[in-house]
Amino acid sequence: MNKFVPLACVLFCTSSFANTEPGFFLNLTAGQSSYEGDNAVQRGTNQANTPVNGYKVDNSGVYGLGLGYRFGNGFAVQAEWRSRKFETARGALAANPAGGLSDHTFQTLAKADTDSFMLNGYYEFNTESDKFKPFIKAGIGIAKHDVSAKLDIQPLFQSFDFSSLTACPGNSLFCYPSKDSSELAWSVGTGFNYLVTKSIAVGLDYQYIDFKDAETAIDPLGDQVVFPELKAHEFTATFTYSF
């Protein structure tokens, strides 16, 4: 038994802690953010007329920059900024038949510019290869949303007077007031790095990130556009420089 304990400790240490020297690292990320939240919807006074299932949201590109520190025992921390832009799919949709505009179509052109500022924790596993470094990660931080939207209702807007409502002079579309907001964000993920040289690594990264709600301000008629429970699966390529 006395011989087994130190042997088990040696095996645990060599299999669980990456042989990475302590130091700082800088990394760049770029890839795709696949929207996972509910469809965008209109809420408020007139929502009974709007399309029953809301508006589909397209995927977005995503890019980011991070600065971190490895402790040399497999653990690392990182401050990271990422940016993406989610937009509703173009195309007119039928109004809710239960509303008063059942013979009309609605089109909402909404976008949510979402920047995340995260503090991430990493654990990098050791493998038989000195170059291949898989990892898991989790993060918490702030999501900053900038949401704007334009609305087109046909045939109603062919004769609609926008003079007292529109925020878009000279535009035939009604504009919701934009809104900036901050929400708590969290993420979990995994990936790997491959060491090209002692200082340079390339890799792939996946994360699931939750940004909470993103929404416009309320318009003069008492309505707004909401991206409810905004979430995403993000797949990125990474470039890391250690120093």
By the 10 Å C-beta count (0-12 exposed, 13-18 middle, 19+ buried), 9 is classed as exposed
The radius of gyration computed from the CA coordinates of the chain, to the nearest angstrom, equals 24
Which pLDDT score is estimated for 133?
A: 92
Instruction: Name the one residue in this structure whose structure tokens are 């934009």.
Output: 178
Q: Beta-carbon neighbour count of residue 44 at 10 Å?
A: 15
Tell which residue, 114, 108, 137, has the closest CA to residue 60.
114
Residue 204, helix vs strand vs coil: strand
Which pLDDT score is estimated for 81?
A: 98
Instruction: Assess contact for 55 and 41: CB atoms under 8 A.
Output: yes
Which pLDDT score is estimated for 10?
A: 41
Which pLDDT score is estimated for 173?
A: 65
d(CA 144, CA 66): 17
Mean pLDDT per 10-residue segment, the chain (243 residues): 45 40 94 92 83 89 97 94 94 80 85 97 90 95 95 78 59 78 97 94 97 89 88 97 94
Q: Which domains does the chain have, with CATH numbers?
A: 24-242 (2.40.160.20)
pTM of the model: 0.82
